[in-house]
Amino acid sequence: MTARPRTPRHPAALTVALGGTVLVAGALLAPVPATAAPAETTAAVLSDPDDWAPVDEATITPGMQMYTEGGQCTSNFVFTDAEGTVYVGYSAHCAGTGESSDIDGCANGSLPLGTRVEFAEGGSLVEEGTQVGGGELVYSSWLAMDEVGETDPDTCLYNDFALVEVDTDDVDQVNPSIPIWGGPVGIDTDGLEAGERVHSYGMSSLRGDLNPLLSPKVGAAMGDASGAWTHPLYTLSPGIPGDSGSAFLDSEGNAVGSLSTLTILPVPGGNNIADINLALAYAQEHSGIEGLEMVAGTEDFSGAP
């Protein structure tokens, strides 16, 4: 069983949505060939710090709270294109128009491109926190799959990736490094082995003041599934609603995926992450954004908090 770990757009529905995560039906599918080719672009070295806001001063980074019409998710990685436009990634379902139980991107609706998204800090159960920047939804895998008529079931379930173009006035506040961990130093292209260590950073508004303690996560992968589109795993502090989109790094600091679903069965307390290599390849093919690529962090991967 799986459910989407985003917070709902209407705070009054929060208790219902959280309760629903233990009732939603879904399943991990057996591995089959993926329909998207691996992304051609792989970040090989750290980014030049002079090209980005200083890491200790940047207000827009991976691990930020992102609000879309009141629903809150977490940013994952930073991207650029051939024109130097800056984007921040999160999950496509964060702009979905349905319930947290709607996990099929080919069968469920999305807010349109151009929807405003706010970057914020300090959001909680009762307020959205302080806005530190903004942008517009410019790519959604859900919308792209609908447009091309995608039919592969694994792609429909786990191609869960979107891009927000950062407002021009806010670009100088961006740094691509993952908080606490550093990196990413590249893109994982060969999946996760069972037992491999993973690292993440979530920013659910449900944690409130506990975020500084519980946002950094370490865990272990359980291998690959669904044609390598998803990687089931456990973390010591499981992802919860609001952590959707959180970046995951492999044991070497490579970007491997972003939090997509919470797992109820067969592994209660587990999470599934969408493979960033395949999701980026799909975006490169269908977004219309020339030269789209992920940006490496300015800080080396530490592997320890």
Q: Which residues contact residue 216 at a Cβ distance below 8 angstroms, ignoring those fewer than 6 apart?
A: 179, 180, 181, 199, 200, 201, 305
pLDDT at residue 13 greater than cutoff 50: no
pLDDT at residue 42 greater than cutoff 70: no
Q: What distance in Å separates the CA atoms of residue 174 and residue 59, rounded to the nearest whole number?
A: 6
Q: Is the peptide bond before 54 cis (omega within 30 degrees of 0)?
A: no
Q: Which residues contact residue 24 at a Cβ distance below 8 angstroms, ignoring those fewer than 6 apart?
A: 1, 2, 3, 100, 101, 103, 264
Phi, psi of 126 (to 5 degrees): -110, -15
Beta strand extents in the chain (DSSP E only): 2-3, 65-68, 71-74, 78-80, 86-90, 116-121, 130-140, 162-166, 197-201, 216-221, 230-235, 247-249, 255-263, 270-275, 293-294
What are the angstrom distances between the C-alpha of 37 and each of 251, 267, 278? 23, 29, 7
Please tell me the pTM assigned to this model. 0.84
Instruction: Indicate the SS3 state at residue 110.
Output: strand
Mean pLDDT, the chain, rounded, equals 82
Query: Mean per-residue pLDDT for 96-106?
Result: 85
Q: Predicted confidence band at 26 (pLDDT cuts at 50, 70, 90)?
A: very low
Q: Which amino acid is at 256?
A: V
User: In the prediction, which pLDDT does 22 show?
Assistant: 25
Q: Are residues 106 and 146 in contact, defined by beta-carbon separation less than 8 angstroms?
A: yes
Q: Are residues 229 and 159 in contact, defined by beta-carbon separation less than 8 angstroms?
A: yes
The domains of the chain, with CATH numbers, are 2-12+29-54+64-294 (2.40.10.120)
Q: What distance in Å separates the CA atoms of residue 289 and residue 11, rounded to the nearest whole number?
A: 35
User: In the prediction, which pLDDT does 3 show?
Assistant: 54
